[in-house]
Structure 1
């Protein structure tokens, strides 16, 4: 069974709580105490006023078997915890304070939409990842096998003689059973505080997700939400002007395609690896939020109320007391453009792209994508650009990457020692910068390893063993398969004909061996594959320095 989670986020729309109003609160005695599945079909009046708070985390945390089990439990009359609601005195919308996943599972069953049918397709602008479709189909099959579709049970009551007795029994249960409701009374502020209190108990909100919720109107959170769904889904930027909304969605899709395409399953099956791992995962939400903050030099203090900024000196956000809410989208766009520029530096075929090979830089020795390695590479390349050391790096790039490949287990050791995401970014960056500096000074591999082991941030993290385990059973584990395939990808990767380093074909540039300026033709014999920057920047710097390139366009490495 697929391990992907079912995305039910489209089935209950989001809406702002709306913080002020003059209408009287609804009396609890006239609010319904239960909700039938028939209240959740598309034509139902109740369903059409059902909402989630705009800050509600994405309803995409349940695997197929849990969604199917919830539907089965409901039809069997098993105890399902009450869903907690709040009714807005302003709009009349009914908000789900607790129980969004439970209710969404029943809505999905009633609509036969587990993240891949009409409502979801419209919500995601028809941009539905393969993993999301797989999870939807798996859920639909499970439910068909165990209880039957909502349509099947509805038909069963109208044609009792023509259906299986089990379907008829469940259909009769469907007509009688309902979900119990409880109501939060008070203004929007009371409803919001209830949401956070309830959702920090049984299944606490992840800290990164909580940070995004609290910063939901700030440009970093809006930008991250746009990136993670390629500009589709709930429009957190809907209050901005039309031109701003359009540009946000355009940049979001560009960056999503740049870092998350092609899609990555649980096992590696292609040499064309996404530079940022799986876009359809809970970890990707955290990583993208960190990416936006990291690139724009923003620390948590800038969006936490009453704090003074401790952002990086020299960054645009440095010295600000608080990162303000974005009311017109200008700051969101500024943050997104910065991310696009940084991502384009390491991936894709933009002329300034270094075209870093994902298997070399972003995947560990066990074949797992490492978010910290991705953020570290962006930091490393940004530092090279800022210090004007990019061409120095290109001159030793092949040797630099060979060291990373040979000592790839160092990445595993660092992450194991320091932890994932931001905790490992600094030590991995130290490893990259120390290796670069050592190579430019002519140090050999044993000397570089010794220098790395004496770095304060790395002293306890690095061991001269690969630390990569293997399967113990007769069958190959997913990890073992990934290790084998990753090694094959690295060993057989094409090389850039200018710098000699590995070249991902998704970032390949077609270069004239003899430059067009020197009379070179567009024939096949005069073509070679290179990194984009090697073609547009590094090659030109060599030509201006040496008045020509080496034989066949290959530069002797320092």
Structure 2
């Protein structure tokens, strides 16, 4: 997966319907061209440029594509026209089509490829390593191919000091401009134009489109906050300051819980993020699914655009999800997600502290979003059915089975796909495995049950010899070696015996304080948080009864 250049900070977002105190205005004439100098930070033209508040993140161009756009512009190649709309209410100029093209030229003019002043302010100084690397790569490519904006600007003042080819580019900069086209009409016409245009050459991802249309609903607002740790564009800015602060605080807590540390594709450490790389292609979909599932939402609830209709599902009326006018519902949704996340990760007393290498990464070391969502669903089901104690009793056997047959995950994902469609079959695998262990079945019996289940799971035993390898280690093979080392060397919980993830480990008294145990190192052991609280007390109660 390439490192995407994050240019989202360069054009601010605004609601189409935003009303400025100055009232309605009508332009006497509108420009049909835009020069790069009009995009500089202190330019009047730049100060009124906006993206619609529902515009997807301007962050899916590679360094090579950004650099190529700048070079193409300077060399006089045809750049498609930028489509704009001017709000008669606020006077703001909205980019209907061409935000990436404009942002690429802005990044060059500002020398900000996602890592400098405007971006740092926008992201509250939270610049992930992958974003920083992409910015550096872009800056380097542009310097090699055309030179920085400041260099070309100085070249015109000292033409004898620069090569002829750079002088030509500098002169082109002084006269070349982008063509502009304008959408006429009110906000509704502009919004319809945006969707129509953006579903043509590069269609909007279906999940992103869902989130755009549900942008004022608590599920979309929650997902937006989580995916950026409460930084970036504040879709919740219309709420009061206390509510905004709460949203950003919960978002940061959950982000740190599931996405930290930030990692690239290669596994180099045992400290794996529970929810994989936040910048993966599936991360937004996964977080949106996480919010919807944990809050018991069905698509027909938030896709109902009428806002008043009720649809029937399984014989029951389903109320449509309303917009959130004040942030109360958004905070409630976020707290539910936080509770579910804390159940599988972190150090709160109820946390099972699931080891990411056991549950969420395939045997080739690839993070599987479906496995993450399935684990959340499985643990939530265990909690609702009061089976966490029994799970802790069988946990070591449960996880040893998953590790021994890790390729089952790949087989399921290969059959059903990488996200939503794979969640139910993976959850079914967990449920059948747990029930089999509870009933005292062998591995072979459990596998037979998996294969015989209704809509049977596509799992089969395979040997190492079935996988072909070249003479060199591929990235997948290297990840598999690292992952195997992580699993083999992981410490064990002193109570249940299953593997510990050190971000979710607690120190427990082997001999309890009430039984005379001291705080000496020899009396300490590492445990899962839940094992150190609920399960340990259950064991002691069982011993007393016997």
Band the TM-score falls in, shorter-chain normalisation: over 0.9
SS of the equivalent of 1:95 reads strand
The Cα offsets for residues 297-336 of structure 1, whole Å up to 9 and x where unpaired, read as 11111112245356799xxxx8443111001000000000
Relative to structure 1, the CA distance from residue 468 to residue 255 in structure 2 (aligned partners, 3 Å threshold; closer, same or farther) is farther
Superposed CA RMSD in Å reads 1.8
The answer for the alignment partner of 1:205 in structure 2 is 204
The Cα offsets for residues 313-362 of structure 1, whole Å up to 9 and x where unpaired, read as 9xxxx844311100100000000000000000001111110000001100
Deviation larger for 331-340 or 365-374: 365-374
The answer for the alignment partner of 1:152 in structure 2 is 151
CA distance in structure 2 between the aligned counterparts of 1:312 and 1:212, rounded to whole angstroms: 25
The answer as to whether partners of 1:371 and 1:420 remain within 8 angstroms in 2 is yes
The answer as to whether partners of 1:471 and 1:480 remain within 8 angstroms in 2 is no
CA distance in structure 2 between the aligned counterparts of 1:198 and 1:105, rounded to whole angstroms: 20
Relative to structure 1, the CA distance from residue 104 to residue 303 in structure 2 (aligned partners, 3 Å threshold; closer, same or farther) is same
The answer as to whether partners of 1:470 and 1:480 remain within 8 angstroms in 2 is no
The answer for the alignment partner of 2:344 in structure 1 is 346
CA distance in structure 2 between the aligned counterparts of 1:473 and 1:77, rounded to whole angstroms: 46
Shift of 1:472: 4.4
Match status 1:308 vs 2:310 = yes
The Cα offsets for residues 116-147 of structure 1, whole Å up to 9 and x where unpaired, read as 10000000000111111011111111111111
The Cα offsets for residues 365-424 of structure 1, whole Å up to 9 and x where unpaired, read as 221111110010011001111110100000010000000011111111111111121111
Compute the TM-score of the two structures, normalised by the length of structure 1. Answer: 0.94
The answer as to whether partners of 1:361 and 1:377 remain within 8 angstroms in 2 is yes
The answer as to whether partners of 1:509 and 1:532 remain within 8 angstroms in 2 is yes
The answer as to whether partners of 2:48 and 2:92 remain within 8 angstroms in 1 is yes
The answer for the alignment partner of 1:475 in structure 2 is 472
2:530 to 509, 533, 552: 533
Match status 1:109 vs 2:111 = no
The answer as to whether partners of 1:85 and 1:184 remain within 8 angstroms in 2 is yes
Match status 1:271 vs 2:270 = yes
The answer for the alignment partner of 1:555 in structure 2 is none
The answer for the alignment partner of 2:384 in structure 1 is 386
Relative to structure 1, the CA distance from residue 471 to residue 102 in structure 2 (aligned partners, 3 Å threshold; closer, same or farther) is farther
Shift of 1:470: 5.6
The answer for the alignment partner of 1:515 in structure 2 is 512
The answer for the alignment partner of 1:232 in structure 2 is 231
SS of the equivalent of 2:342 reads helix
SS of the equivalent of 1:292 reads helix
Aligned residues: 541
The answer for the alignment partner of 1:419 in structure 2 is 417
The answer as to whether partners of 1:19 and 1:188 remain within 8 angstroms in 2 is no
The answer for the alignment partner of 1:556 in structure 2 is none
The Cα offsets for residues 246-283 of structure 1, whole Å up to 9 and x where unpaired, read as 00000000000000001110111111100100012331
Shift of 1:179: 0.8
SS of the equivalent of 1:96 reads strand
Shift of 1:547: 3.0
Deviation larger for 415-424 or 340-349: 415-424
The Cα offsets for residues 458-516 of structure 1, whole Å up to 9 and x where unpaired, read as 34x11222699867443321111111111111111111110000101111100010111
Match status 1:544 vs 2:541 = yes
Which ranges in structure 1 are unaligned for 5 or more consecutive residues?
550-558
The answer for the alignment partner of 1:11 in structure 2 is 10
SS of the equivalent of 1:115 reads coil
1:398 to 392, 396, 399: 396
The answer for the alignment partner of 1:85 in structure 2 is 84
The answer for the alignment partner of 1:123 in structure 2 is 122
CA distance in structure 2 between the aligned counterparts of 1:281 and 1:165, rounded to whole angstroms: 42
CA distance in structure 1 between the aligned counterparts of 2:354 and 2:171, rounded to whole angstroms: 60
SS of the equivalent of 2:352 reads coil
SS of the equivalent of 2:44 reads coil
Compute the TM-score of the two structures, normalised by the length of structure 2. Answer: 0.96
The answer as to whether partners of 2:36 and 2:109 remain within 8 angstroms in 1 is yes
The answer for the alignment partner of 1:322 in structure 2 is 320
The answer as to whether partners of 1:6 and 1:62 remain within 8 angstroms in 2 is yes
